[in-house]
Copies of this chain bind each other. A is one copy, B any other.
Amino acid sequence: MATPSPDHLSARKKPRQARSRATLDVIFEATLQVLIAHGPRRTTTTRVAERAGVSVGTMYQYFPHKQALFYAVNERYLDILAERVEAACREQHGDSIKHMIDVLVTTYWKAKTERPEMTRALYRSVAEIDNEPLIQAFSQRIDAATAAMLASASDAHFTDLPTVNLTLLSTVFGTVRSVFEHRLPDAKTDAVLRQLMVMCTTYLETVSTASSAPASATPSSE
């Protein structure tokens, strides 16, 4: 399904026994914890191994080097995040635009703030790796999910769905990240997110060729 990782970043070998699958989980969680506690610069292989309760050698059986570990942790996170967004989008099929926006913003915000320190740590960890392939794959999944959702809206229809969708995603994801990183007091955060929803809803209404009320302007064939 997803684009395979470039080989210089992919895992060395895959776990075959239950034992090693558990080890991998432990390593991932330990990586996150060290990343949170010490920052990416002080996240060393030995420290992670120590925290995970395994030896460095074990880590090197699954990851050819430190970057591959960071890469894998990011991959896992983005996978879960994408799944959540996809699920949320699927659930809103056929609903109203306003509802879709609300859910999209809320879902993304929640995903980021459930473990805020983890989110921050992951943002920082990308300095050590080239995560563009990951971001690319993630974006495509989200793009497809929201495009399908928007196309099914009960109260709108978009002639240039790709552009509208891309705009919506850039705006929602960009703004949410911006708000998240600014550590505003809760009241302000809530206010901005609410305004963001208003803004996006209004935008979609503006660019929508109203579906329930038949278009007065003729849809041009392209």
Contact = CB atoms under 8 A, between A and B. Distances in A.
A195 B124 contact: no
Interface in A93-113: none
B192 A167 contact: yes
Nearest to A66: B41
Interface string A30-61: 00000000011100000000000000000000
Interface in A132-174: 132, 135, 139, 163-164, 166-167, 170-171, 173-174
A42 B92 CA distance: 46
Classify the secondary structure of A's interface with B.
Answer: helix
A170 B182 contact: yes
A112 to B, nearest CB: 13
Contact of A192 (B170, B176, B207): B170
B40 A127 contact: yes
Contact of A179 (B126, B174, B206): B174
A174 to B, nearest CB: 3
Nearest to A188: B166
Interface residues of A, number: 40
A170 B191 contact: no
Contact of A175 (B124, B128, B175, B192): B175
Interface in A164-205: 164, 166-167, 170-171, 173-179, 181-184, 188, 191-192, 195-196, 198-200, 202-203
Contacts of A177: 174, 177-178
Q: Which of A164, A176, A191 has the most CB of B within 10 A?
A: A191
Interface in A1-49: 39-41
Nearest to A39: B127
Interface of A: 39-41, 124-128, 132, 135, 139, 163-164, 166-167, 170-171, 173-179, 181-184, 188, 191-192, 195-196, 198-200, 202-203, 206-207
